Amino acid sequence: MVFIIAILILALDCITKFLITKNLFLHQSVPIIKGVFHFTLVHNRGAAFGILKNQTPVFIFTSILAIILFYFSLKNTKQKNSSVYRLSLGLILSGALGNLIDRIFFGYVIDFLDFRIWPVFNVADTAVTVGAILLGWSILRTRT
C-alpha cells in the first residue's frame, strides 16, 4: 500500500510540473486566490529555499543516497507494523524521487505552489515535509 501511495504522489508531482511548465512562462504568476495563493513558475537551482545554488551534482548524489537509505529502511524496518512510519518513509521517498527526476532532466527543480508568505514549492516538497513530520511523530510515539 505504501508503494502505491508513493507512486501516486510521484505521478501527481510529475503531472502537475508538466502542466505548469506547459501553461506558464518562467516567473509568470497566476492568482488562484488573489494575494493568498498563486501558481508561479520558478526554477530552483538550489536546495530548500534556494540555498546552495548550482550544486546540482551534489544534490543528485545526496538524493540518490537518501533514496537508497529510505528504501532499505522501508524494507528492513523493525517498525513494519507501524503504518504511519511506513507511510512517512514512502512520502519522503516519492518526494525525493520527484525532485531528483527534475534535477537529472533539467538541472533544477520545478516549483509552482506560491502562498506569497513562503518560498515557492511543489508537490514533491510537500510530500517530503509531511513525511518528515510523520516520521518524527512516529519515532517519538514509539519511544514513549
Q: Model pTM?
A: 0.86
Catalytic site includes residue 125 = yes
Domain ranges for the chain, please list them.
Answer: 2-21+39-143
Query: Would residue 114 show up in a list of annotated catalytic residues for this protein?
Result: no
Among 13, 102, 111, 114, which one carries the catalytic annotation? 111
CA 80 – CA 83 distance, rounded (Å)? 7
Report how far residue 77's alpha carbon sits from residue 12's, in angstroms, rounded to the nearest whole number: 27
Residues 6+ apart with CB under 8 A from 1: none
Q: Which amino acid is at 98?
A: G
101-134 per-position pLDDT tens digit: 999 999 999 999 999 999 999 999 999 999 999 9
Region 75-104 average pLDDT: 83
Catalytic residue selected from 13, 102, 114, 125: 125
